[in-house]
Amino acid sequence: MAGIRVNNLDLWYGDFQALKNVSADFKEKRITAIIGPSGCGKSTMLRVFNRMNDFIEGVRTSGEIIIDNENIINPETDLVLLRKKVGMVFQRPNPFPLSIYENIVFGERIHAEKINKNNLDEIVEQSLKSVLLWDELKDKLNRPALSLSLEQKQRLCIARLIAVKPEVLLMDEPCSTLDPQATQRIEELMRELRKNYTIIIVTHNMQQAARVSDDTGFMLLGELIEFDSTQNIFTAPKDKRTEDYITGRYG
């Protein structure tokens, strides 16, 4: 199971420096929340962990991001394997326009050399059980995934990630489109998934960060201002800028 160690990370979009000398240790089998005002670099940092920023023209990155003793910023990094190991859940659920069953086995069909129908059935069952959807959907696996509720779609997207056996789950505002009850259930799911995965979540919702995370990092203008246990960040921050943000003085 992988944690992530970040050393002196800088990232530029063209001439604009979006991340400035970021260093932190994201511990395995814990939930780390990244908080901060809009435009501070939270999502940019999340996307760098599976090199999603590579799709943006003019991006340059320096420093180290160590996962399983490898610096994933190296040009030789196998991005297919990296994105299998480090999966991402987006702000808006993005199931494929396929059946529920085919959504979950999609990654396995890409990565596996040999496909056994019984193996696929088992992957679907275990993945849906992991996100507490099996009982709801076991008799509806051929239904279009796009017919599900927003919460079910988000759970399905998490199940689709789990099916390819990742080590790290990145979650970019995973509850921003959900109602409060659905948000609570996704937060409960995160706590359950923490037993088996390293989870890093970007959220604008400080109450959510306080409820769900073990550690929290506060970002401002591309810098990681403070990184500590969530309890310390919210009750005894060391930096006045962190305290000002948490108490609502700005942001």
pLDDT at 13: 94
Angle at 38 between CA 34 and CA 42, to 5 degrees: 30
Residue 149 to residue 238: CA distance in whole angstroms: 42
Tokens 């890093």, residue? 200
pLDDT band at 33 (very low <50, low <70, confident <90, very high): very high
What percentage of the chain has pLDDT greater than the value 70?
97
The whole-number pLDDT of residue 211 equals: 95
Task: Enumerate helices (H) and strands (E) in the chain, giving the number of each.
Answer: 10, 10
pLDDT at position 43 is 93
pLDDT number for residue 107: 84
The reported pLDDT for the residue numbered 1 is 57
The model scores a pTM over 0.85: yes
Confidence of residue 113 (pLDDT cuts 50, 70, 90): low
Q: What is the CA radius of gyration of the chain?
A: 18
pLDDT above 80 (res 251)? no
pLDDT at 91: 85
Query: Coil, helix or strand for 33?
Result: strand
Six-digit token pair at 76? 């030789």
- For residues 208 and 177, which has the higher predicted lDDT (pLDDT)? 208
The pLDDT of residue 203 is above 80: yes
DSSP 8-state class, residue 52: G
Find which of 109-123, 135-149, 182-196 is predicted with most confidence, using mean pLDDT. Answer: 135-149
Are residues 219 and 233 in contact, defined by beta-carbon separation less than 8 angstroms? no
The average confidence (pLDDT) of the chain is: 92
Q: What domains can you pick out in the chain, each with its CATH number?
A: 4-246 (3.40.50.300)
- Over range 143-162, report the average pLDDT: 94
In the beta sheet, which residues pair with residue 26?
4
